[in-house]
Amino acid sequence: MGAGSKAWLNRHVKDHFVRQAREQGLQSRAAFKLKEIQAKHRILRPGSVVIDCGAAPGGWTQIATEIVRSPSQGLVIAVDLLPLRPPIPTALCLQQDFTDPATVQTIRTVLDRFQEQRRLRQLARQRPPKPRQDAGPTTISSNQSKSTTMPSSSETQQSLPPPPPPRRIVDAVLCDMAPSFSGTKAIDRLRTVALAESALVFAEEVLRPGGSFVCKVLQGPETDQLRQRMNAHFKSVMYEKPKSSRSESAEGFLVALGFGQRDMAATGQRSDVEADGGRQ
Ligand SMILES: C[S@@+](CC[C@H](N)C(=O)[O-])C[C@H]1O[C@@H](n2cnc3c(N)ncnc32)[C@H](O)[C@@H]1O
Protein backbone atom coordinates (compact mmCIF):
# COMPACT_ATOMS: atom_id res chain seq x y z
CA MET A 1 0.00 0.00 0.00
CA GLY A 2 1.39 3.44 -0.92
CA ALA A 3 2.04 6.17 1.63
CA GLY A 4 -0.92 8.23 0.34
CA SER A 5 -3.36 5.33 0.65
CA LYS A 6 -2.05 4.50 4.09
CA ALA A 7 -2.58 8.06 5.26
CA TRP A 8 -6.11 7.99 3.86
CA LEU A 9 -6.87 4.72 5.58
CA ASN A 10 -5.49 6.01 8.86
CA ARG A 11 -7.59 9.14 8.65
CA HIS A 12 -10.63 7.06 7.81
CA VAL A 13 -10.09 4.71 10.73
CA LYS A 14 -9.48 7.63 13.04
CA ASP A 15 -12.67 9.29 11.92
CA HIS A 16 -14.48 6.03 12.40
CA PHE A 17 -13.40 5.84 16.06
CA VAL A 18 -14.04 9.52 16.67
CA ARG A 19 -17.55 9.13 15.27
CA GLN A 20 -18.15 5.94 17.23
CA ALA A 21 -16.99 7.62 20.43
CA ARG A 22 -19.38 10.49 19.87
CA GLU A 23 -22.26 8.17 19.09
CA GLN A 24 -21.62 6.04 22.16
CA GLY A 25 -21.24 9.03 24.48
CA LEU A 26 -17.57 8.25 25.14
CA GLN A 27 -15.34 11.09 26.23
CA SER A 28 -12.43 10.08 24.00
CA ARG A 29 -11.62 7.75 21.14
CA ALA A 30 -8.94 6.37 23.48
CA ALA A 31 -11.77 4.48 25.18
CA PHE A 32 -11.67 1.95 22.34
CA LYS A 33 -8.05 1.06 23.15
CA LEU A 34 -9.03 -0.07 26.62
CA LYS A 35 -12.11 -1.82 25.21
CA GLU A 36 -9.90 -3.83 22.88
CA ILE A 37 -7.40 -4.68 25.61
CA GLN A 38 -10.24 -5.69 27.92
CA ALA A 39 -11.90 -7.84 25.25
CA LYS A 40 -8.67 -9.78 24.79
CA HIS A 41 -7.32 -9.99 28.34
CA ARG A 42 -10.31 -9.54 30.69
CA ILE A 43 -8.33 -7.47 33.15
CA LEU A 44 -11.37 -5.82 34.75
CA ARG A 45 -14.36 -7.47 36.42
CA PRO A 46 -17.32 -6.35 38.49
CA GLY A 47 -15.96 -5.40 41.90
CA SER A 48 -12.40 -4.67 40.69
CA VAL A 49 -10.36 -1.87 42.21
CA VAL A 50 -8.66 0.12 39.46
CA ILE A 51 -6.23 3.01 39.32
CA ASP A 52 -6.45 4.91 36.04
CA CYS A 53 -3.36 7.10 35.57
CA GLY A 54 -3.61 9.74 32.86
CA ALA A 55 -7.38 9.59 32.79
CA ALA A 56 -8.46 12.84 31.08
CA PRO A 57 -10.65 13.47 29.22
CA GLY A 58 -12.16 10.27 30.60
CA GLY A 59 -12.69 7.51 28.01
CA TRP A 60 -10.84 4.79 29.94
CA THR A 61 -12.48 5.88 33.17
CA GLN A 62 -15.92 5.54 31.61
CA ILE A 63 -15.19 2.01 30.39
CA ALA A 64 -13.60 0.98 33.68
CA THR A 65 -16.35 2.35 35.95
CA GLU A 66 -18.97 0.57 33.88
CA ILE A 67 -17.22 -2.81 33.99
CA VAL A 68 -16.24 -2.76 37.67
CA ARG A 69 -19.54 -1.14 38.68
CA SER A 70 -17.92 1.70 40.54
CA PRO A 71 -18.71 2.78 43.15
CA SER A 72 -21.38 0.27 44.23
CA GLN A 73 -19.15 -2.80 43.83
CA GLY A 74 -15.71 -1.78 42.59
CA LEU A 75 -13.73 1.41 42.65
CA VAL A 76 -12.00 3.49 39.99
CA ILE A 77 -9.52 6.14 41.05
CA ALA A 78 -8.83 8.42 38.09
CA VAL A 79 -5.75 10.67 38.16
CA ASP A 80 -4.78 13.37 35.72
CA LEU A 81 -3.18 16.79 35.61
CA LEU A 82 -6.29 17.90 33.75
CA PRO A 83 -9.93 17.63 34.77
CA LEU A 84 -12.12 14.91 33.29
CA ARG A 85 -14.57 16.57 30.92
CA PRO A 86 -17.37 16.26 31.71
CA PRO A 87 -16.72 14.97 35.26
CA ILE A 88 -17.41 11.28 35.90
CA PRO A 89 -19.20 11.05 39.26
CA THR A 90 -18.87 7.24 39.45
CA ALA A 91 -15.07 7.52 39.71
CA LEU A 92 -12.96 9.11 42.39
CA CYS A 93 -11.14 11.77 40.39
CA LEU A 94 -7.91 13.40 41.47
CA GLN A 95 -6.69 16.33 39.43
CA GLN A 96 -3.07 15.93 40.41
CA ASP A 97 0.36 15.00 39.11
CA PHE A 98 0.71 11.26 39.49
CA THR A 99 4.48 11.56 39.87
CA ASP A 100 4.06 13.81 42.91
CA PRO A 101 4.53 11.74 46.11
CA ALA A 102 1.61 13.62 47.68
CA THR A 103 -0.73 12.20 45.01
CA VAL A 104 0.40 8.67 45.69
CA GLN A 105 -0.12 9.25 49.40
CA THR A 106 -3.68 10.44 48.73
CA ILE A 107 -4.36 7.26 46.74
CA ARG A 108 -2.99 5.14 49.60
CA THR A 109 -5.39 6.84 52.00
CA VAL A 110 -8.33 6.25 49.66
CA LEU A 111 -7.38 2.58 49.32
CA ASP A 112 -7.12 2.15 53.08
CA ARG A 113 -10.61 3.58 53.55
CA PHE A 114 -12.07 1.51 50.76
CA GLN A 115 -10.49 -1.63 52.19
CA GLU A 116 -12.00 -0.94 55.59
CA GLN A 117 -15.44 -0.21 54.12
CA ARG A 118 -15.31 -3.42 52.13
CA ARG A 119 -14.46 -5.41 55.26
CA LEU A 120 -17.39 -3.92 57.10
CA ARG A 121 -19.74 -4.62 54.19
CA GLN A 122 -18.48 -8.20 54.10
CA LEU A 123 -19.15 -8.54 57.81
CA ALA A 124 -22.64 -7.14 57.48
CA ARG A 125 -23.38 -9.76 54.79
CA GLN A 126 -21.89 -12.64 56.81
CA ARG A 127 -23.75 -11.99 60.05
CA PRO A 128 -27.50 -12.55 60.03
CA PRO A 129 -29.37 -10.08 62.22
CA LYS A 130 -29.76 -11.31 65.81
CA PRO A 131 -33.24 -12.68 66.56
CA ARG A 132 -35.38 -10.31 68.56
CA GLN A 133 -35.64 -11.50 72.15
CA ASP A 134 -38.93 -9.89 72.97
CA ALA A 135 -42.15 -10.01 71.05
CA GLY A 136 -42.50 -6.30 71.64
CA PRO A 137 -43.38 -3.54 69.27
CA THR A 138 -42.43 -3.90 65.61
CA THR A 139 -41.36 -0.29 65.42
CA ILE A 140 -38.07 0.37 67.11
CA SER A 141 -35.99 3.47 67.36
CA SER A 142 -32.93 3.88 65.20
CA ASN A 143 -30.75 3.60 68.32
CA GLN A 144 -32.26 0.25 69.24
CA SER A 145 -31.94 -0.93 65.69
CA LYS A 146 -28.26 -0.14 65.73
CA SER A 147 -27.68 -1.96 68.98
CA THR A 148 -29.38 -5.18 67.81
CA THR A 149 -27.87 -5.50 64.34
CA MET A 150 -24.49 -3.83 64.38
CA PRO A 151 -21.62 -5.84 65.86
CA SER A 152 -19.40 -4.40 68.53
CA SER A 153 -15.82 -3.75 67.55
CA SER A 154 -14.66 -6.86 69.45
CA GLU A 155 -17.22 -8.99 67.58
CA THR A 156 -16.00 -7.46 64.34
CA GLN A 157 -12.46 -8.50 65.08
CA GLN A 158 -13.44 -12.04 66.04
CA SER A 159 -15.66 -12.87 63.10
CA LEU A 160 -13.71 -11.35 60.22
CA PRO A 161 -10.81 -13.10 58.55
CA PRO A 162 -7.56 -11.26 59.20
CA PRO A 163 -7.27 -8.29 56.88
CA PRO A 164 -4.74 -8.45 54.06
CA PRO A 165 -1.75 -6.17 54.45
CA PRO A 166 -2.75 -2.60 53.79
CA ARG A 167 -3.64 -1.64 50.24
CA ARG A 168 -2.70 -4.80 48.37
CA ILE A 169 -6.25 -4.72 47.09
CA VAL A 170 -5.81 -3.23 43.62
CA ASP A 171 -6.80 -5.47 40.70
CA ALA A 172 -5.45 -3.31 37.90
CA VAL A 173 -3.26 -0.27 37.43
CA LEU A 174 -3.80 1.38 34.05
CA CYS A 175 -1.42 3.98 32.68
CA ASP A 176 -2.31 5.94 29.56
CA MET A 177 -0.20 8.91 30.69
CA ALA A 178 1.50 10.81 27.90
CA PRO A 179 3.89 13.74 28.28
CA SER A 180 3.65 16.91 26.24
CA PHE A 181 5.43 15.71 23.14
CA SER A 182 8.62 17.54 22.21
CA GLY A 183 8.80 16.16 18.68
CA THR A 184 12.17 14.57 19.41
CA LYS A 185 11.44 10.87 19.35
CA ALA A 186 14.08 9.77 21.86
CA ILE A 187 13.01 12.38 24.41
CA ASP A 188 9.34 11.55 23.98
CA ARG A 189 10.06 7.85 24.41
CA LEU A 190 12.05 8.50 27.57
CA ARG A 191 9.37 10.71 29.08
CA THR A 192 6.62 8.24 28.25
CA VAL A 193 8.58 5.38 29.78
CA ALA A 194 9.33 7.49 32.87
CA LEU A 195 5.59 8.03 33.39
CA ALA A 196 4.89 4.33 32.88
CA GLU A 197 7.66 3.48 35.34
CA SER A 198 6.17 5.71 38.01
CA ALA A 199 2.88 3.83 37.60
CA LEU A 200 4.70 0.49 37.70
CA VAL A 201 6.47 1.37 40.95
CA PHE A 202 3.11 2.12 42.53
CA ALA A 203 1.54 -0.97 40.99
CA GLU A 204 4.23 -3.10 42.62
CA GLU A 205 3.17 -1.67 45.97
CA VAL A 206 -0.60 -2.00 45.68
CA LEU A 207 -1.47 -4.82 43.27
CA ARG A 208 -3.02 -7.97 44.68
CA PRO A 209 -1.43 -11.28 43.67
CA GLY A 210 -2.60 -12.00 40.15
CA GLY A 211 -3.34 -8.33 39.44
CA SER A 212 -2.73 -6.60 36.10
CA PHE A 213 -0.79 -3.62 34.83
CA VAL A 214 -1.29 -1.87 31.49
CA CYS A 215 0.87 1.00 30.28
CA LYS A 216 1.26 3.09 27.20
CA VAL A 217 4.72 2.97 25.63
CA LEU A 218 6.49 4.23 22.53
CA GLN A 219 8.56 1.54 20.91
CA GLY A 220 12.31 1.80 21.49
CA PRO A 221 15.17 0.56 23.68
CA GLU A 222 13.85 2.24 26.84
CA THR A 223 10.63 0.30 26.44
CA ASP A 224 12.55 -2.96 26.26
CA GLN A 225 14.09 -2.19 29.66
CA LEU A 226 10.69 -1.43 31.13
CA ARG A 227 9.38 -4.70 29.75
CA GLN A 228 12.25 -6.60 31.37
CA ARG A 229 11.38 -5.11 34.72
CA MET A 230 7.75 -6.09 34.23
CA ASN A 231 8.80 -9.60 33.24
CA ALA A 232 10.40 -10.01 36.66
CA HIS A 233 7.11 -9.37 38.46
CA PHE A 234 4.35 -10.69 36.24
CA LYS A 235 3.47 -14.09 34.89
CA SER A 236 3.19 -12.75 31.35
CA VAL A 237 3.82 -9.47 29.57
CA MET A 238 2.46 -8.80 26.09
CA TYR A 239 2.77 -5.96 23.65
CA GLU A 240 -0.52 -4.79 22.17
CA LYS A 241 -1.23 -2.35 19.38
CA PRO A 242 -5.01 -1.91 19.39
CA LYS A 243 -6.73 -1.27 16.07
CA SER A 244 -8.00 2.00 17.48
CA SER A 245 -4.40 3.22 17.98
CA ARG A 246 -3.22 5.07 14.89
CA SER A 247 -0.94 2.85 12.88
CA GLU A 248 1.47 5.70 12.11
CA SER A 249 1.94 6.32 15.84
CA ALA A 250 4.76 4.57 17.72
CA GLU A 251 2.29 4.11 20.58
CA GLY A 252 1.51 0.68 21.91
CA PHE A 253 0.64 -0.91 25.25
CA LEU A 254 2.39 -3.37 27.50
CA VAL A 255 -0.18 -5.61 29.17
CA ALA A 256 1.13 -7.49 32.19
CA LEU A 257 -0.93 -10.23 33.84
CA GLY A 258 -0.46 -12.32 36.97
CA PHE A 259 1.37 -9.99 39.33
CA GLY A 260 3.60 -11.89 41.74
CA GLN A 261 3.04 -15.17 39.90
CA ARG A 262 6.18 -15.26 37.82
CA ASP A 263 7.40 -18.86 37.55
CA MET A 264 5.31 -19.78 40.57
CA ALA A 265 2.92 -21.96 38.59
CA ALA A 266 5.77 -24.19 37.48
CA THR A 267 7.38 -24.60 40.91
CA GLY A 268 4.21 -24.64 42.99
CA GLN A 269 5.81 -22.04 45.27
CA ARG A 270 3.99 -19.06 46.70
CA SER A 271 5.35 -15.70 45.71
CA ASP A 272 6.34 -13.13 48.32
CA VAL A 273 3.28 -11.17 47.33
CA GLU A 274 0.94 -14.12 47.84
CA ALA A 275 2.56 -15.03 51.14
CA ASP A 276 2.08 -11.43 52.13
CA GLY A 277 -1.70 -11.71 51.77
CA GLY A 278 -4.05 -11.03 48.93
CA ARG A 279 -7.53 -10.24 47.91
CA GLN A 280 -10.20 -10.41 50.52
C1 LIG B 1 -3.62 10.13 26.02
S2 LIG B 1 -4.23 11.12 27.32
C3 LIG B 1 -5.19 9.96 28.24
C4 LIG B 1 -6.50 9.62 27.59
C5 LIG B 1 -7.43 8.89 28.54
N6 LIG B 1 -6.92 7.57 28.88
C7 LIG B 1 -8.81 8.71 27.98
O8 LIG B 1 -9.25 7.60 27.79
O9 LIG B 1 -9.49 9.73 27.76
C10 LIG B 1 -2.81 11.31 28.33
C11 LIG B 1 -3.06 12.02 29.64
O12 LIG B 1 -1.93 11.87 30.47
C13 LIG B 1 -1.96 12.97 31.36
N14 LIG B 1 -0.70 13.09 32.11
C15 LIG B 1 0.53 13.33 31.61
N16 LIG B 1 1.43 13.42 32.61
C17 LIG B 1 0.75 13.21 33.76
C18 LIG B 1 1.11 13.18 35.13
N19 LIG B 1 2.38 13.38 35.53
N20 LIG B 1 0.16 12.96 36.06
C21 LIG B 1 -1.13 12.75 35.68
N22 LIG B 1 -1.54 12.78 34.40
C23 LIG B 1 -0.61 13.00 33.44
C24 LIG B 1 -2.25 14.13 30.45
O25 LIG B 1 -2.72 15.25 31.14
C26 LIG B 1 -3.27 13.53 29.49
O27 LIG B 1 -4.57 13.87 29.87
Q: Domain segments of the chain: what residues? A: 21-122+167-259
pLDDT at 66: 98
Whole-angstrom distance, CA of residue 232 vs CA of residue 238: 13
pLDDT at 125: 86
Active site residues: 216
Helix axes 31-41, 3-23, angle to 10 degrees: 90
- In this predicted structure, the answer to whether residue 142 has a pLDDT above a threshold of 50 is no
Helix axes 59-68, 31-41, angle to 10 degrees: 40
- In this predicted structure, the answer to whether residue 146 has a pLDDT above a threshold of 50 is no
Residues 122-128, mean pLDDT to the nearest whole number: 83
Q: Is 28 in the pocket of ligand 1 (CB under 6 A)?
A: yes
pLDDT at 246: 86
- In this predicted structure, the answer to whether residue 139 has a pLDDT above a threshold of 60 is no
pLDDT at 248: 84
pLDDT in tens, 54-106: 999 999 999 999 999 999 999 999 999 999 999 999 999 999 999 999 999 99
Residues 196-216, mean pLDDT to the nearest whole number: 97
pLDDT at 267: 52
- In this predicted structure, the answer to whether residue 130 has a pLDDT above a threshold of 80 is no
User: Concatenated DSSP letters for 112-164?
Assistant: HHHHHHHHHHHHHHHSPPPPPSS---S---HHHHHHHHSPPHHHHHHHSPPPP
Q: What's the number of CA atoms in the CB half-sphere (13 Å) around residue 83? A: 5
State the pLDDT confidence band at 10, using cuts at 50, 70 and 90: low
Whole-angstrom distance, CA of residue 273 vs CA of residue 278: 7
pTM score, two decimals? 0.82
> Ligand 1 mean position to 60 CA, how many Å?
11
- The answer to whether 71 and 86 are in contact (CB under 8 A) is no
Average pLDDT value over all residues in the chain:
84
Edge to edge, the sheet with strand 75-80 lists 92-95, 75-80, 49-53, 170-175, 207-218, 251-259, 234-240
Q: How many percent of the chain have pLDDT more than 90?
A: 65
Residue 133: how many CB atoms within 10 A of its CB? 7
Nearest atom in ligand 1 to 31's CA: 8
Mutate to test the pocket of ligand 1, among 176, 181, 251 (most ligand atoms within 8 A of CB): 176
- CATH 3.40.50.150: does it fit domain 21-122+167-259? yes
Mutate to test the pocket of ligand 1, among 66, 177, 215 (most ligand atoms within 8 A of CB): 177
Distance, first Cα to last Cα, the chain: 53
pLDDT in tens, 167-185: 799 999 999 999 999 999 9
Q: Is 51 in the pocket of ligand 1 (CB under 6 A)?
A: no
Q: Is 76 in the pocket of ligand 1 (CB under 6 A)?
A: no
Whole-angstrom distance, CA of residue 247 vs CA of residue 245: 6
